[in-house]
Structure 1
């Protein structure tokens, strides 16, 4: 299989070459580019010889779609990117798959398997776009958090976590039994890892789980106080600026 790689990050390029060789020693990289203009040149020279294009979407000087606009090729493309907003464009550009960084070999090999199954045809474009959107419509949230208890390391399922909170230099999670355990992540990082349907950051120090709320009381100065469903001594107050979005979240508005 002859492959052209369009990728502007050297480590990412080397990883793709490694994955190709790992998949099959019969693969050959016949061209490479790091920019849109370089991609145009290599596609003009060697595009017709290629069996597959591996293309990072965001290059230093623009989007790789621009190269395909200038050099239309009916060749299968696997797009690789750190962003997920380009699914439709990827499909329109003969994309057979859309892989999100950081790239894993399992995801990569599954895409090559898909290419082999298609046997160079695009007879079912509707299914292709459905596959892409199915993948992208399910955000991948963290399923477990590691915590250290004494000399032991435990894995706590996210669904069992009722609360994350910061105290001093430490960040803690609290399980359904009310046990608090230290985690290595900051609240800002945790907020990006967990489902916004299940968790809400009620103030600077607390991220509350929906299942961890017993009820909510009207508090002073138009704020709200959360009564947790687990044993927790500290008050959990929804900050004034968070009251309206909290009510929307708590009422199922998200």
Structure 2
């Protein structure tokens, strides 16, 4: 399988290459291009490509410009940190649309979709991919939580939250000011309402704000220990089964 990666962030390109080599070890990464111009130039004289991974926002424009300027006869999986391009992505030869940071589970699902019938066939706007795109466009993440303090109501912006945690069947959030508030959400419900680019569920008991990370330390059992810029009563550990996605 010949793969082309179009990505202008070197770290993202390296991480994507590493995950692809693990998921499809027999695949050949033909080239990593980092701009619209570089990609167009490469496509003029490249070997046959089976699958492309295209970041949408490149240094000299949007990768959709590549499709505007030439025919792309291989299927593409788009990667981006932004939702607003979802519908347009499915109007070209696209298999899937992955939000950054791309995790190994979602990448594996997208590659499996390609293996099961998208290879060398025109992409179709089926109900599943359209639903996914619409979901991305309409998913309004919470930007604040409402908490009760005595007889008063407070609005806590998500930017002020460092940690969500569970304790004795209750859920709490801890602000960057080291103050705790009880909330009427389970941790599962919290993850359904906050932006996954800002928060990560590291374990059954903890959801952390990525902006609150102060240090990450290798820990026993292939886990990671995360130190936050707020106090914690117990170690905040990244579960073994979540380490790969956390690093992605």
Q: Is the 8 A contact 1:3 1:27 kept in 2?
A: yes
Matched, 1:155 2:155: no
Query: Structure 2 vs 1, CA of residues 131 and 122 (structure 1 numbering), >3 Å: closer, same or farther?
Result: farther
Could you tell me which residue of structure 2 aligns to residue 86 of structure 1?
Answer: 85
For residues 66-110 of structure 1, the C-alpha deviation after alignment (integer angstroms, 9 at most, x for no partner) is 112112113111100111100111111211111111111111111
Could you tell me which residue of structure 2 aligns to residue 59 of structure 1?
Answer: 58
Query: Structure 2 vs 1, CA of residues 119 and 62 (structure 1 numbering), >3 Å: closer, same or farther?
Result: closer
Could you tell me which residue of structure 1 aligns to residue 115 of structure 2?
Answer: 116
Larger Rg: 1
Matched, 1:133 2:144: no
Root-mean-square deviation (CA, aligned residues, Å) is 3.2
Could you tell me which residue of structure 1 aligns to residue 45 of structure 2?
Answer: 45
For residues 38-89 of structure 1, the C-alpha deviation after alignment (integer angstroms, 9 at most, x for no partner) is 011112222x600111001001111111112112113111100111100111
For residues 187-210 of structure 1, the C-alpha deviation after alignment (integer angstroms, 9 at most, x for no partner) is xx9xx76xxxxxxxxxxxxxxxxx
Query: Structure 2 vs 1, CA of residues 174 and 12 (structure 1 numbering), >3 Å: closer, same or farther?
Result: same
- Paired residue total: 167
Query: Structure 2 vs 1, CA of residues 5 and 165 (structure 1 numbering), >3 Å: closer, same or farther?
Result: closer
Question: Normalized against structure 1, the TM-score is what?
Answer: 0.57
Alignment of 1:28-39 (within 5 A): 28-39=28-39
Query: Structure 2 vs 1, CA of residues 164 and 119 (structure 1 numbering), >3 Å: closer, same or farther?
Result: closer
Q: Is the 8 A contact 1:7 1:34 kept in 2?
A: yes
Return the alpha-carbon distance in structure 1 between the equivalents of residues 180 and 102 of structure 2: 29
Give the match's secondary structure for 2:90: helix
Alignment of 1:161-180 (within 5 A): 161=172, 170-175=177-182
Give the match's secondary structure for 1:49: coil
Gaps of 5+ in 1: 148-153, 178-188, 194-254
Gaps of 5+ in 2: 143-157, 185-194, 200-248
- 1:171 Cα deviation from its structure 2 partner: 3.9
Give the match's secondary structure for 1:125: coil
Return the alpha-carbon distance in structure 1 between the equivalents of residues 166 and 86 of structure 2: 34
Query: Structure 2 vs 1, CA of residues 55 and 156 (structure 1 numbering), >3 Å: closer, same or farther?
Result: farther
- 1:134 Cα deviation from its structure 2 partner: 3.4
Return the alpha-carbon distance in structure 2 between the equivalents of residues 93 and 156 of structure 1: 48
Larger relative contact order (Cα-Cα within 8 Å, sequence gap ≥ 6):
2
Could you tell me which residue of structure 2 aligns to residue 9 of structure 1?
Answer: 9
Alignment of 1:67-106 (within 5 A): 67-106=66-105
- 1:117 Cα deviation from its structure 2 partner: 1.8
Question: Normalized against structure 2, the TM-score is what?
Answer: 0.58
- 1:118 Cα deviation from its structure 2 partner: 2.6
